[in-house]
Amino acid sequence: MTSEPARLRLKTWICTSIVVFSNPFGDFFLKRGLPDSVHLSKPLDYIAALFQPLVALGVLLLIIWQLSRMALLSWADLSYVLPVTSIGYVVVALIGKVLLHESITGRRWAGIVLIVAGVALVGGSAPSTVPRKAAPQ
Amino acid sequence: MKWLVLAVMVGSTTAGEVLQAAGMRRHGEIRDFRPGAIGRALAALARNRFVIGGVSSMAISFFALMKLLSMTDLSFAVPVSAVTYVMETVLAKYLLKERVSGLRWAGAALVICGVTLVSL
């Protein structure tokens, strides 16, 4: 049987991975599905935009992002979740490089190194600093 | 107009995430990931006032993001979240009473600098 901290750490990393990948892909499809010509002025325009396939896919991914993030917050601190999930910015930059053949400038590489260093600092610590109960089953 | 939408997005994101964190802590650690249990957890969360407030704020933030994306590029809209990091970490310490250690502050500071650099 695995120890409690090891169990929590594994669970945290799995959930963090889902959070980290669903958000940038969600944003990406949202932007792809919303051409510049779309005008969002009336409330109905927003609803109509949701029925465009790529926007809908983006929204689905963002729902998965929200739910996995909420699950993560049920056992981890906000001040832990915020920095650790920001590794998503690195994922965005790498998606841009690999899939869209965008170049990564020296400044962006420097930013990526800082984010990875920050995530490594916080990620190694315990996810929670406040007493927590288990959710009712 | 761009900056007003931006301010709405930053304010609602910060409020939404802090409320969500408070609500999820009250709910307790989710341990059972079977579909039935997730359904029951969602039903319980739908009655959690903090979560309702958090999700409402996040919905406002989402539509503000959509509006912003129709006005500017993703590379302008996304980096702003660095601002929300600072506000949320401070609120996590004082409102949620999390123990934000030196290590966490240092990590958060590195991430904020990094996010700013990546998105400039």
What's the pLDDT at B20?
A: 94
C-alpha B57/C-alpha B61 separation (Å) is: 6
Q: How many domains does chain B have?
A: 1
- Over residues B115-120, mean pLDDT: 78
Model pTM score: 0.82
Per-residue model confidence (pLDDT) at position A39: 66
- How much of chain A exceeds pLDDT 70, in percent? 93
The residue behind tokens 């599905």 is A33
Average pLDDT over residues A18-39: 80
Asked if A17 has any chain B CB less than 8 Å from its own CB, the reply is no
Per-residue pLDDT, A4? 80
pLDDT beyond 80 at A31:
no
Angstroms from B3 CA to nearest CA on chain A: 17
Give the pair of three-digit tokens for residue B75: 């590379």
Average pLDDT over residues B89-113: 92
Indicate the range of A29-38, A107-116, B55-64, B103-112 predicted with least confidence: A29-38
pLDDT at site B74: 67
Q: Which residue has the higher pLDDT, A3 or B88?
A: B88
CB A65 within 8 A of CB A19: yes
Tens digits of residue pLDDT in B44-74 = 999 999 999 999 998 999 889 888 888 877 6
Express each pLDDT in B16-51 by its tens digit: 999 999 999 999 999 888 888 889 999 999 999 999
The pLDDT score that the predictor gives to residue A35 is 67
Written as six digits, the tokens of B71 are 């006005």
B118 versus B75: which is more confidently predicted?
Answer: B118
Question: Quick check: helix, strand or coil at residue B29?
Answer: strand
0.90 surpassed by complex ipTM: no
| Structural domain containing residue B12 | 2-119
Q: Do A36 and B70 touch (CB under 8 A)?
A: yes
Instruction: Measure in Å the smallest separation between the Cα of A99 and chain B Cα atoms.
Output: 17
pLDDT at A21: 93
Mutation site, A31, A44, A66, A70, interface B, largest B CB count within 10 A: A70
pLDDT at A137: 64
Alpha-carbon distance values, B101 to A77, A126, B6, B104 (Å)? 12, 11, 30, 5
pLDDT for the residue numbered B45:
93
Chain B segment 27-66 residues within 8 A of A by beta carbon are 27-32, 37, 40-41, 44-45, 51, 55, 58, 62-63, 66
Backbone conformation region of residue A101, classed left if phi is above 0, alpha if psi is from -120 to 50, else beta:
left
A113 touches chain B (CB under 8 A): yes
pLDDT at A43: 74
Q: Using one digit for the tens of pLDDT, what is the confidence trace for A33-73?
A: 876 656 667 777 777 778 888 889 999 998 899 899 999 99
| pLDDT-derived band at A90, boundaries 50, 70, 90 | confident
Please, which residues bridge with residue A134 across strands? B29
pLDDT of residue B42: 92
Which residues 6+ apart lie within 8 Å of A33 measured at CB? A49, A52, A53, A54, A55, A56, A57, A58
| Residue position matching structure tokens 């051409």 | A35
Answer whether A129's CB lies under 8 Å from A81's CB: no
